[in-house]
Structure 1
Amino acid sequence: MGVHLQEAMRRAVDESDKVRGSTSPNPPVGAVVLDVAGAVVGVGATQPPGGPHAEVMALRDAGERAYGGSIIVTLEPCDHFGRTPPCSQAIIDAGIAQVHYAVADPVSYAAGGARTLARAGVAVTTWHDATPVTQGPLRAWLHRQRTGRPHFTYKYAASLDGRSAAADGSSQWISGDQSRARDRAERSKIDAIVVGTGTVLADNPWLTARNPDGSLTDHQPVRVVVGTRPIPPEARVCDDAAPTVFVRSRNIDDVVEALKDHVDVVVEGGPHLAGAFFKAGMVDRITAYVAPVILGSGTSAVVDAGVGNIADAKRFHCESVSLLGDDVLISLVPR
């Protein structure tokens, strides 16, 4: 019994999300192959740079069962020779009859796969709703193609009254276990984490991606520490669990330059660093973990964001809201 194309696209999105963080600077793409009866016979996702793309992985998985079938893919199949041959030709050689893709490739030298496929007699369809892809696994990569710089997500945990730390500076733990577990798992899907020297000196964070059992994941983001204050060699960010880059500057342009080869970057604090990113217009998304606690005083999540009056307020659109235990996770993007 065949599966609905909508289900197949969801599976492709899920496959692409699994490889986030391991494909940069290439996009994390997912693909699903259906046989002539509509049954799933192959799934695949982009491999690390130099490895096969999602379509090739899915076609290998399907083998001869792909002939006459369909392939559902989150990004238009590439049409150029790079470190790997064009996916459009691999699809033609496999005898695929139909291609459904969610997002057109914005890279000029790689685009054109849909045209090549159509010329070869393959039926090509653009997916009706690309939102799960553009707001999901391909968000950061598409942003980089548009802007030429990394996609910056400001992530923070705060009390109901907007405090990221209590009056005495303590902040462990404002958010609950489920929020922290999600955050540690999410780190395995990004390229870099940015914090200020103040956060390192106050909290001594490890900034690593971890499995549910606390062990380190295979992929670790680069730890980027911004500021001019010296960091003691015994700080946890100085160990060999993950690479660390020190940006001895308070200039956001210097941070962007240090991350020029990265795609998906999370800014974790502190409040002055966050304010500098807001002031520079460099916050592309916010993920806010709001805990059901009141602190009454203490450190604000953001300081000096360049807002002098209500007309200058940085306004955001809410993409999603979800519960993590008693915490609320809010995803927002600039209006």
Structure 2
Amino acid sequence: MWDLWMRRALALAALAEGRTSPNPLVGAVVLNQEGRLVGEGFHCRAGEPHAEVGALAQAGDAAHGGTLVVTLEPCCHHGRTPPCSEAVLRAGIARVVVALEDPDPRVAGGGINQLRQAGVEVISGVLREEARQQNRAFLHRVRTGRSYGILKWAMGLDGRTALPNGASQWISGSPARDWVHQLRSGMDAVIVGGGTVRADDPLLTSRGRRSPEPLRVVLSRGLDLPASAQLWNTAVAPTLVVHGPDADPQRLPSGPEGLGLSACEPLPLMHHLAERSCNQVLWECGPELAAAAIRQGCVQEVVAVVAPKLMGGLAARTPLGELGFTAMDQVLSGTLQPPRPIGEDWLLSLRLEG
């Protein structure tokens, strides 16, 4: 019985994909004493009412003596909004069904304990794995202090991402490119290196699928960047240019925000983005930066669009640079998600971490 309603709560939570950072995705439903649906809600974005509050408000007096089904443990601390646990108690809820305990140190079981001490029945762990997967980026950031990284590339069936002369537009078809725009809309930031800016002059937006657009990040040790580029137009989307300690800040392009790091590497960048409230970021970079991000543990998931094309060429580019492996027992492996078609292309997704 609870599985059915928890799936509804998970579907509600998914409606805010990419918009709640640094908060998690949360959905909730309220059932009256007879088990009928009387309220539902989801957390839309940070600073706005939490899912439980919205669902309880919709239910009104019908919530008294009823059941709250929620995908994440109700919070018990004062943040931008009051504690949800207190709202649950004020509504007279008799039972709370929870999918996942909140790992945030300010909660960490405290919400469940508060409810139980007040006499509310609490059932936890319903569809726990589904809820964990839905909030894997939030959980990763809380656990590690780093944003969850997804590395994306498009390639031909022979593993090439460009011809020997560098030509790469377009490997994938229009449906796959539309899918990339949708993918970006769920991200808090999109990262490229200076080489990608010089070679491709990308825009890196969701093409209006999200407002505001994700933060665009350029990682450049020496700020050897073109004076004009689409990324410098911050009226379209915000841009952050990250550089190393030896770069001359006077070379920063006009428009974007600049940030100097003690080491212009993926790992300190991911810590900075986590502090900047980014749960999930997308790497759309060249092979050397992609390899560095993997080596430094900054990629938890790889998504590859595979086109039915053979590009050939011994000197043609591949998605990854050197990872330093010398034996097959050293290579990275993960969980391959079921492949799915996108137009004439195929999408492969490999999770290196749950």
> Structures share a fold, TM > 0.5?
yes
Runs of 4+ in 1 over 6 A off after TM superposition: none
Correspondence 1:270 to 2:264: no
Identify the range of structure 1 (245-254 vs 149-158) with the bigger mean alpha-carbon deviation.
245-254
How far off is 1:24 after superposition?
Answer: 1.5
* Match of residue 84, structure 1, among 73, 76, 81: 81
How far off is 1:302 after superposition?
Answer: 0.7
Identical pairs, percent:
41
How far off is 1:257 after superposition?
Answer: 4.2
How far off is 1:80 after superposition?
Answer: 1.5
**1:332 & 1:195 partners in 2: Cα distance?**
20
- Which runs of 5 or more structure 2 residues have no equivalent in the other structure? 245-263
Deviations along 1:302-333, one digit per CA (max 9) or x if unpaired, are: 11122233232122221332222222222222
**1:48 & 1:291 partners in 2: Cα distance?**
36
- Which runs of 5 or more structure 1 residues have no equivalent in the other structure? none
**2:287 & 2:23 partners in 1: Cα distance?**
32
How far off is 1:115 after superposition?
Answer: 1.4
Correspondence 1:230 to 2:230: no
**1:152 & 1:141 partners in 2: Cα distance?**
11
Correspondence 1:246 to 2:241: yes
Q: Which residue of 2 aligns with 1:285?
A: 301
- Please list, as runs of the form range in 1=range in 2, the aligned pairs for 1:175-254 lying within 5 A after superposition: 175-210=172-207, 215=208, 217-227=210-220, 228-239=222-233, 240-249=235-244, 250-254=264-268
Q: Is the Cα contact below 8 Å between 2:213 and 2:237 reproduced in 1? A: yes
Q: Which residue of 2 aligns with 1:102?
A: 99
SS at 1:269's partner residue?
coil
Identify the range of structure 1 (316-325 vs 234-243) with the bigger mean alpha-carbon deviation.
316-325
Q: Is the Cα contact below 8 Å between 1:21 and 1:219 reproduced in 2? A: no
**1:283 & 1:83 partners in 2: Cα distance?**
30
How far off is 1:8 after superposition?
Answer: 2.1
How far off is 1:178 after superposition?
Answer: 2.3
Q: Amino acid of the residue matched to residue 236 of structure 1?
A: Q
Question: What is the root-mean-square deviation in Å for CA atoms of aligned residues?
Answer: 1.9
Structure-2 change in CA distance of 1:333 and 1:93 (3 Å): same
SS at 1:163's partner residue?
coil
Q: Is the Cα contact below 8 Å between 2:53 and 2:84 reproduced in 1? A: yes
**1:219 & 1:5 partners in 2: Cα distance?**
36
Q: Is the Cα contact below 8 Å between 2:30 and 2:68 reproduced in 1? A: yes
Deviations along 1:206-226, one digit per CA (max 9) or x if unpaired, are: 11113xxxx452131110011
- Please list, as runs of the form range in 1=range in 2, the aligned pairs for 1:1-335 lying within 5 A after superposition: 4-111=1-108, 112-136=110-134, 138-210=135-207, 215=208, 217-227=210-220, 228-239=222-233, 240-249=235-244, 250-259=264-273, 260-261=275-276, 262-297=278-313, 298-334=316-352
Q: Is the Cα contact below 8 Å between 1:226 and 1:246 reproduced in 2? A: yes
Q: Is the Cα contact below 8 Å between 1:22 and 1:219 reproduced in 2? A: no
Deviations along 1:246-278, one digit per CA (max 9) or x if unpaired, are: 112442234224423222111111111101111
Identify the range of structure 1 (269-278 vs 126-135) with the bigger mean alpha-carbon deviation.
126-135
SS at 1:140's partner residue?
helix
Structure-2 change in CA distance of 1:178 and 1:37 (3 Å): farther
Q: Is the Cα contact below 8 Å between 1:88 and 1:116 reproduced in 2? A: yes
How far off is 1:295 after superposition?
Answer: 1.0
**1:304 & 1:88 partners in 2: Cα distance?**
50
Q: Amino acid of the residue matched to residue 121 of structure 2?
A: A
Q: Amino acid of the residue matched to residue 220 of structure 1?
A: E
Q: Which residue of 1 aligns with 2:248?
A: none
Identify the range of structure 1 (85-94 vs 16-25) with the bigger mean alpha-carbon deviation.
16-25
**2:63 & 2:218 partners in 1: Cα distance?**
48
How far off is 1:88 after superposition?
Answer: 1.0
Q: Is the Cα contact below 8 Å between 1:209 and 1:219 reproduced in 2? A: no
Deviations along 1:226-253, one digit per CA (max 9) or x if unpaired, are: 1235333431111121110111244223
Structure-2 change in CA distance of 1:286 and 1:66 (3 Å): same
How far off is 1:154 after superposition?
Answer: 1.0
Q: Amino acid of the residue matched to residue 218 of structure 2?
A: V
How far off is 1:21 after superposition?
Answer: 2.4
- TM-score, scaled to structure 2: 0.86
